[in-house]
Structure 1
Amino acid sequence: MSKKERRSYDKSFKLMAVELHRSGKPAGTVAKELGIGVDMVRRWSREYGVHDTRSFPGNGKQDLTPEQKEIQTLKKALQEAEMENRILKKAVSIFSREDNKCSGS
């Protein structure tokens, strides 16, 4: 069995394919002209329709709005604070158990 090499396309190529498709050419025709799959043209067009200029950031990176970046940062800070809180609760319970052992009860 041979492994297919995964091809990658840059943002300008994807935008060109989307523009051709949006200009009225069928996805099958665009795909055949560019040598790519029909599903890719449809997926890129759908993604462009949803994200517009933030489409195709590259290499799995998300192109977030400033508000989305702030939300992501705040969520990360909240998770860290919750983890610290859990650790401190465990530490308090461990130290309170050790205090009872030393008290001679």
Structure 2
Amino acid sequence: MQKLRDLDPEGQHGLLARLAQAFEQSLERYVPVLHQPRHSEQDYEALRLVAHTLKSSASSLGAVALSRLCARIELLAHQREEAELPALLNNALTQIEEVRQALRDLVSN
């Protein structure tokens, strides 16, 4: 995430604050899907799309671990492989909170 700070080192353009706000807003829509049970094709497709979107968002923020985790979730949701998903989703939710906190720390400094 240091690379993000390097894009606007003095904070004059509010880049970090805008990125953090956009990420937070997207999480409001996407995190509930990570908590939903999957019973139908639509449920798996919703999870796949959310994982795909979060994978890209996390990558653009430099949150590589979260991005990789979302890539795995995306693949498993596509394949409807339920066995690994609960643990991966718990890990993703933990990672999301860590990224949120890292963004808050960057914005406040």
TM class by smaller structure? under 0.3
With the length of structure 1 as denominator, give the TM-score of the two structures.
Answer: 0.26
With the length of structure 2 as denominator, give the TM-score of the two structures.
Answer: 0.25
- Structure showing the higher helix proportion among its residues: 2
| Structure number, greater radius of gyration | 1
Greater relative contact order structure (CA < 8 Å, 6+ sep): 2
